[in-house]
Amino acid sequence: MTYLANVRLQNPLVHNITNIVVTNFTANGLLALGASPFMADAHEEVQDVAKMSGAVVLNIGTLNDHTIQSMLLAGQSANTHGVPVVLDPVGAGATAYRTDVTQALTSQIQLAALRGNVAEVANVVGERWSSKGVDAGEGEGDVIALAQKAARKLVCTVIITGKEDVISNGDNTYIVSNGHPILTKVTGTGCLLTSVVGAFLAVSNGNFLEASVEAVSFYGVAAEIAARLTAHQGPGSFQVEFLNQLALVTPEIFKEMSQIKKLT
């Protein structure tokens, strides 16, 4: 797997329609990684931008009627032109509106990948899941089953992030054990991961599962190094160093620290 090197070589254009909290962090994270972010949500241009991009990333963190329509237009344009689409269903299940919107999006757009926490993914595919006290550490078996079921239902790669990350396309499933808890103290780290997955898919030649696994593990490695370098300093320093590491982690460092387990 050499997707990281290819992202840096090809600088793929990643079209993001994302929430107003994380636009800056997402753009800076993609630039640090070596990709080329493009934020655009005007109805007049999203189809053009999606068409010319290597991937389209949709994030419903601060959705409204205007951006939902932008997402539908961009997603369908991407589908028409063979551009992979990644969805981040932020807060699906937290309100009825978010659950409805994610179900509308997934019924009208063919995803290449879905990235969320276990409660969000469960809600997208109509499973009930309490949004308290749920992570990949407790009830790991259920998370794996959920990932596989969601992947089969949506016919895409599903990434459930938590203490451990589960990635499945329905047939094959991986567990990634990289990452660090301080990621939860910086806003938008889940959102940026979804966009980083988009960058990896853009250079994947259709190998969405493998590219997703590498993206998730790479991201976790960058977080581990940044957490070590800023131990005891706090989330402000971690965030700065994490952006540094997205630029500095080489394929060699990644290979050495990557913790990926393929389930049989």
Considering only residues 2 to 61 of the shown chain, the ones binding a copy of itself according to CB under 8 A are 19-25, 27-28, 31-32, 37-45, 48-49, 52, 61
Q: Which is nearer to a copy of itself, 96 or 107 (CB)?
A: 96
**Is residue 93 within the footprint of a copy of itself (CB under 8 A)?**
no
Considering only residues 233, 250, 255, 262, which one is a binding residue for a copy of itself as defined by CB under 8 A? 233
Distance CA(176)–CA(162), nearest Å, equals 10
Q: Which of residues 236-255 bind a copy of itself (CB under 8 A)?
A: 236-237, 239-248
Q: How far apart are CA 74 and CA 63, in angstroms?
A: 15
| Token couple for 74 | 């961009």
What is the C-alpha to C-alpha distance for residues 204 and 98, in angstroms, rounded to an integer? Answer: 30
Pick 50 or 112: Cβ nearer a copy of itself: 50
Does position 134 interact with a copy of itself (CB under 8 A)? The reply is no
Residues pairing with 158 in the sheet? 114, 168
Which residue number, 145 or 186, has a Cβ lying nearer to a copy of itself?
A: 186
R_g of the chain, CA atoms, integer Å? 17
Do the annotations mark residue 98 as ligand-binding? no
* Choice between 67 and 148, CB closer to a copy of itself: 67
Annotated binding residue at 52?
A: no
CB 49 within 8 A of CB 38: yes
Tokens of 7: 């992202």
Amino acid at position 143, single letter: V
Contact with a copy of itself (CB under 8 A) among 76, 97, 134, 251: 97
- Rounding to the nearest 10 degrees, give the CA dihedral for residues 103, 107, 110, 113: 20
Contact with a copy of itself (CB under 8 A) among 9, 94, 104, 155:
94
Scan residues 165-194 and list those touching a copy of itself (CB under 8 A).
Answer: 184-188
Residue pointed to by tokens 């590491």: 245
DSSP state, residue 112: S
DSSP 95: B
Instruction: Give residues in contact with a copy of itself (CB under 8 A).
Output: 19-25, 27-28, 31-32, 37-45, 48-49, 52, 61-66, 91, 94-98, 184-188, 233-237, 239-248
| Residue list, annotated binding site | 39, 115, 161, 188
| Residue list, annotated binding site for substrate | 39, 188
